[in-house]
């Protein structure tokens, strides 16, 4: 799954924080008060 603009905009907060991955080391971390943080894992 790739992180598209539509995927990011429609991501809704849940009771617990969760991550949406793009498969290339980038993920979006979504927390309950609907804060969104993009994080890139480097190897």
DSSP state letter for 18 = E
Cα 3 from Cα 33, distance rounded (Å): 20
Tell me what pLDDT residue 33 has: 74
List average pLDDT for each run of 10 residues in the chain, which is 43 residues long.
83 87 83 70 61
Complete domains list, the chain, with CATH: 5-40 (3.30.160.390)
Half-sphere exposure of 32 (CA within 13 A, CB side): 2
**pLDDT value for 42:** 60
Q: What confidence score (pLDDT) does residue 39 get? A: 67
């Amino acid at each position: 799954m790739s992180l598209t603009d539509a995927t990011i905009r429609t991501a809704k907060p849940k009771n617990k924080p969760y991550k949406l991955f793009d498969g290339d080391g980038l993920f979006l971390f979504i927390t309950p008060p609907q804060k969104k943080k993009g994080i890139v894992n480097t190897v």
